[in-house]
Amino acid sequence: MIVTTQKPLDEVLDFITPYTDILIAGCDGCTQPPRGLREAKTLGQLLELAGKLKNQGFNFRVTTVAKQCDNYLAASILKPQMDGVEAVLSLACGIGVQTLAGVFPEVPIFPAQNTHFMGAEEREAGILEERCAGCGDCLLAVTGGICPVARCSKGLLSGACGGSKEGKCELSPDRDCAWCLIYERLKKQGKLALLKESRPPRDYQLSGWRVTT
């Protein structure tokens, strides 16, 4: 999933202060929890309460889109709702915000979220961690399903550095050393031999900036 967090409310308030009629657009897509109708309504409530304290009235309309990053979907759902809308507050990731900005070039589209990375949630702990760096050259087949590009602080491709300590990374002791995890996983699978193969440096061009469907 795409991992996002709510922007500080005063930052959001600063964006919308010049406007009155604002559409809050949720996105049911990739985040956890999805920033759909509930988050959109809650954000509206919070901003209304905050506005009241500053004697500013907002006129919020609330909606949600299945996937804001799909310009076709975003246009079909939002266009009929844009009448009189001065600004849009998007609960989507940075991709959704940019898609809306492309679909409605005349209207200011503001992000209500900060977008962090592609990750997964440890649900019980409520912690979200990066899992994929979008490198364009997936190595998971040979690393026991654990990505060193995203999960090793240094993005090393051929085994742990010297800084791994009791399974933790030297850069942040609460972060697992990805290469320790890979070692343990491959050991479990009887595939430690894979670690002996050295890997050429990563081809950064593969990450790319454009692909065709």
Binding site for another protein (CB under 8 A): 6, 8-10, 28, 33-39, 41-42, 45-46, 48-50, 52-53, 64, 66, 123, 126
Residue pair 177/152 in contact by the 8 Å Cβ criterion: yes
Residue 203 and residue 8: Cα distance in Å, rounded?
Answer: 37
- Cβ proximity to another protein: between 20 and 32 the closer is 32
Site of tokens 């009189």: 84
Smallest gap from residue 191 Cβ to another protein (A): 30
> How near is the Cβ of 59 to another protein at its closest, in Å?
14
* Strands 59-65, 21-27: pairing kind: parallel
Q: Which is nearer to another protein, 47 or 160 (CB)?
A: 47
Q: Which residue lies nearer to another protein by CB, 34 or 108?
A: 34
**With respect to another protein, which residue has the nearer C-beta, 28 or 176?**
28
CA neighbor of 8 nearest in space, from 165, 113, 159: 113
Cα separation, 28 vs 9, in Å, equals: 21
Please state the closest distance from residue 131 (CB atom) to another protein, in A: 18
Among the listed residues 142, 149, 131, the one whose alpha carbon sits nearest the alpha carbon of residue 183: 142
Residue 25 Cβ vs another protein, minimum distance, rounded to whole Å? 14
